Amino acid sequence: MRSLSPTVHPPALRERRRITAEILIVMGLSLGQSGVYAVVRLLDKATSGPLAGQTTTLNPVLNDRQYFDLAYQLLGIFFALVPVALALFLLSAGGASAFRRIGFTFERPALDFGLGLGLAVAMGVGTLGVYAAGRALGVTTAIVPAALDDYWWTVPVLVLSALRHAVLEEVLVVGYLFERLRRLGWSVPAVLLTSALLRGSYHLYQGIGPFVGNVILGLIFGYAYLRTGRVMPLVIAHAALDITGFVGFALLGPAIGIGD
């Protein structure tokens, strides 16, 4: 298992405070913020009626005019990736390449695509099972992976949306967070569990089932990162899952969603 940080001993108190503040800022601008909103949205849904009778749409229409909708969709994708750029910039302090540090490169395509597609298949089957169980238990909303109108740009935008989710989540929740928490001296199990719980938290707006499913997925993805030191297989796996769910639903109609 690789070492996630070149520093064995925890940093001085001042440096620890700086790193902690950095983590809170990066997550507060991105998935930590999403987690807080997801909790509030879940409470809102749970107190307004049974979750089983409610629907969650992952890629909704943002404007009823075609090209304004396209503009809003693309702007949303672009600005969602700004925290990724910030995290990579911060990890590059000192001159080291953040892309190589977390394995966000195409230097090992056989490993990246082999492991990534294998994880996608395994997690896809598991996610469908957790979703079906959640629906049967009444603790998961009906998930509509895509509800965009049928335009020439619908499929490309859904693919970009899937790539956005993959890069945002895997770079921040795995690559960045693992490196920073290990720099603070956290144990590997603590880092792994924290990352997985954060991943589950920002899916809570879909219900309890997706929370549980994404915590499990987070543990598996985190372990894969610990073994390989590469985030790229996780990005590929996540992108494959979401592209299949988003584009498949848009082209084939109602089906069981796989989550974002």
At 201-251, the pLDDT tens digits run 999 999 999 999 999 999 999 999 999 999 999 999 999 999 999 999 888
- Indicate the burial class of 202 (C-beta count within 10 angstroms; 0-12, 13-18, 19 or more): buried
Q: How many domains does the chain have?
A: 1
Q: Is residue 196 part of a domain?
A: yes
| Whole-number Å distance between alpha carbons of 100 and 211 | 30
For 220, the token pair is 């598996």
Q: Indicate the helix (H) or strand (E) that contains 129.
A: helix 109-137
Q: Is residue 19 part of a domain?
A: no
pLDDT for residue 260 is more than 50: no
Could you give the dihedral angle defined by the CA atoms of residues 24, 103, 128 and 42, in that order, rounded to the nearest 10 degrees? 10
Query: Do 141 and 206 contact (CB within 8 A), yes or no?
Result: yes
Q: Is residue 6 part of a domain?
A: no
* Mean pLDDT of the residues in the chain: 92
Determine the distance from the C-alpha atom of residue 40 to the mean position of all C-alpha atoms in its chain, rounded to a whole number: 19
**In 3D, which of 118, 227, 39 has the Cα closest to residue 126?**
118
Q: Is residue 157 part of a domain?
A: yes
| Whole-number Å distance between alpha carbons of 221 and 211 | 15
Question: Considering Cα of 168, then 170, then 171, then 176, what sign does the dihedral take?
Answer: positive
Sequence-ordered list of residues with C-beta below 8 angstroms from that of 196, at least 6 positions apart, any chain = 214, 215, 216, 217, 218, 219, 222
Average pLDDT (53-58) is: 94
Q: Is residue 205 part of a domain?
A: yes
Q: Which tens digit of pLDDT belongs to each residue from 91-137?
A: 998 778 999 999 999 999 999 999 999 999 999 999 889 999 999 99
Determine the distance from the C-alpha atom of residue 100 to the mean position of all C-alpha atoms in its chain, rounded to a whole number: 20
Q: Indicate the helix (H) or strand (E) that contains 143.
A: strand 142-144
For 90, the token pair is 């911060």
Q: Is residue 17 part of a domain?
A: no
Q: Is residue 52 part of a domain?
A: yes
Cβ density class 243-252: b for 16+ within 10 Å, e for less: bebbbbbbee
Q: Is residue 235 part of a domain?
A: yes
Q: Which domain holds residue 111?
A: 29-91+99-252
Q: Indicate the helix (H) or strand (E) that contains 56.
A: strand 55-57
Cα distances from 119 to residues 87, 114, 123, 185, 220, in angstroms, run: 25, 9, 6, 29, 9
Q: Percentage of residues in the chain with pLDDT exceeding 70? A: 93
